[in-house]
């Protein structure tokens, strides 16, 4: 079986680490990786291939830094050329980026079955580019690997054939379990002289592109008397400059970190504040509560269990949540499977 995997953005490299490692144990299963170049900075891309031992991409496209339409269009054209050359049995895509949609669309038009990992998630906010990418990818995929019963139900509600849906848990849990053993303390950490800290990430376009929302987020974080470490995504860096936002003194901005350092920060922080999808789940995997800088989330199970609080961009809600939110250890287990997602996916694909 020849699987062609399309990757493009940081969370996809991280998810791919689990699958590519599992695949190595299966004889007769070959994986070819296409990197669309959607994320291209060293610390947003290459670091993950190196430290997570992900096989190097056979094809590297250069489609980053463009508008959504231009990026998706170029990816579609170039992935089609590669598919015609490689003739894979299956195209595998992860998550909800432009690379996900372009990979799926190029494949389905050539009648190559598409496997979508992290299918069925919905924010029900169609202004998010990610939501459009998810809905369209799910509609054209043959194998929908969903992380939870709720995601399965979302697909059934949209009329997706039940036989295509497989509840396999969350592949990021496989990744979290494996790399927790290998986590690394960032070399700058001790120089910050912090006893306790909150870990924060901010990158989602709906927050960064709106000057008022972004400045409210920083205002809310600044109202807290706690130290906050913020590894800053390149998009947010440029938007802070563009919107001329001043950074409160309790916020320590650092460069984006590699995954092994990120896990160390997640394990050692008191609380996580984020607008990232992946980081919300990692908070739970590492036993931390999460404050989410969004109005809605795809990972609704965490909110329903009281482990995640949605505060949007309201400065006082943010500040109150940082003060009040419980900080004891979480002991609710296995909301998103048992960490064997990659193996389940391979077995299902092999069987078909």
Binding stretches for ligand UDP (CB under 6 A): 10-11, 14, 201, 203, 231, 256-257, 259, 262, 276-279, 282
Q: What is the rounded distance in angstroms from the CA atom of residue 311 to the CA atom of residue 318? A: 6
Least distance to ligand UDP, CB of residue 28, Å: 30
**Cβ neighbours of residue 28 under 8 Å, at least 6 residues apart?**
1
Least distance to ligand UDP, CB of residue 229, Å: 10
What values do phi and psi take at 136, rounded to 5?
-65, -40
Helices (H) and strands (E) counted in the chain, each on its own, are: 15, 13
Residue placing its CB nearer to ligand UDP in the complex, 11 or 150: 11
Least distance to ligand UDP, CB of residue 161, Å: 27
Torsion sign (Cα): 279, 225, 233, 274: positive
- In degrees, rounded to 5, the angle at the alpha carbon of residue 350 between the alpha carbons of residues 348 and 352 is 70
Q: What is the rounded distance in angstroms from the CA atom of residue 55 to the CA atom of residue 131? A: 29
Residue placing its CB nearer to ligand UDP in the complex, 106 or 202: 202
* Pair 212, 187: CB distance under 8 Å: no
DSSP per position, 162-231:
GGGEEE---HHHHHHHHHHTT----TTTGGG--SS-EEEE---HHHHT-HHHHHHHHHHHHHSSS-EEEE
Of the candidates 219, 337, 332, 200, which has an alpha carbon nearest to the alpha carbon of residue 275? 200
Residue placing its CB nearer to ligand UDP in the complex, 272 or 349: 272
Q: Beta strands 251-254 and 228-231: pairing type?
A: parallel
- 111 counts as catalytic: no
Cα 297 to Cα 93, 201, 277, 300: the distances in Å are 21, 15, 8, 6
Q: Check 203, 233, 243, 286 and give the catalytic one.
A: 203
DSSP element (H, E) containing 274: strand 271-274
Looking at the annotation, which residues are catalytic?
203
């Amino acid at each position: 079986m020849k699987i062609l995997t399309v990757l493009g953005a940081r969370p996809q490299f991280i998810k791919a680490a689990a699958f590519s490692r599992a695949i190595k144990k299966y004889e007769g299963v070959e994986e070819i990786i296409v990197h669309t170049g959607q994320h291209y900075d060293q610390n947003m891309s290459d670091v993950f291939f190196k430290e997570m031992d992900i096989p190097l991409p056979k094809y590297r496209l250069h489609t980053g830094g463009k508008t959504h339409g231009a990026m998706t269009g170029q990816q579609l054209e170039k992935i089609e050329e590669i598919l015609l050359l490689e003739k894979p049995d299956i195209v595998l895509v992860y998550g909800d980026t432009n690379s996900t949609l372009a990979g799926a669309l190029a494949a389905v038009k050539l009648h190559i079955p598409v496997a979508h990992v992290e299918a069925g998630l919905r924010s029900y906010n169609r202004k998010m580019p990610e939501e459009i990418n998810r809905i369209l990818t799910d509609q054209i995929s043959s194998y929908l690997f969903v992380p939870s019963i709720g995601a399965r139900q979302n697909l059934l509600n949209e009329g997706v054939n039940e036989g295509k849906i497989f509840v396999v848990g969350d592949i990021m849990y496989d990744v979290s379990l494996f790399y927790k053993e290998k986590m690394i303390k960032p070399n700058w950490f001790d120089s910050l002289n912090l006893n306790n800290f909150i870990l924060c990430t901010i990158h989602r376009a709906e927050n960064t592109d709106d000057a008022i929302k972004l400045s409210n987020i920083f205002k809310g974080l600044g109202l807290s008397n706690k130290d906050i470490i913020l590894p800053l995504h390149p998009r947010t860096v440029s938007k802070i400059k563009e919107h001329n936002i001043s950074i409160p003194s309790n916020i320590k901005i650092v460069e984006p970190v590699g995954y092994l350092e990120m896990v160390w920060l997640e394990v050692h922080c008191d609380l996580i504040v984020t607008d990232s999808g992946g980081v919300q789940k990692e908070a739970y995997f590492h036993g931390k509560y999460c404050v989410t800088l969004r109005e809605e989330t795809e990972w609704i199970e965490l909110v329903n269990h009281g482990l995640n609080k949605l505060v949007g961009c309201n400065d006082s809600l943010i500040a109150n949540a940082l003060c009040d939110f419980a900080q004891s250890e979480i002991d609710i287990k296995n909301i998103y499977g048992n960490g064997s997602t990659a193996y389940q996916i391979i077995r299902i694909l092999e069987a078909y």
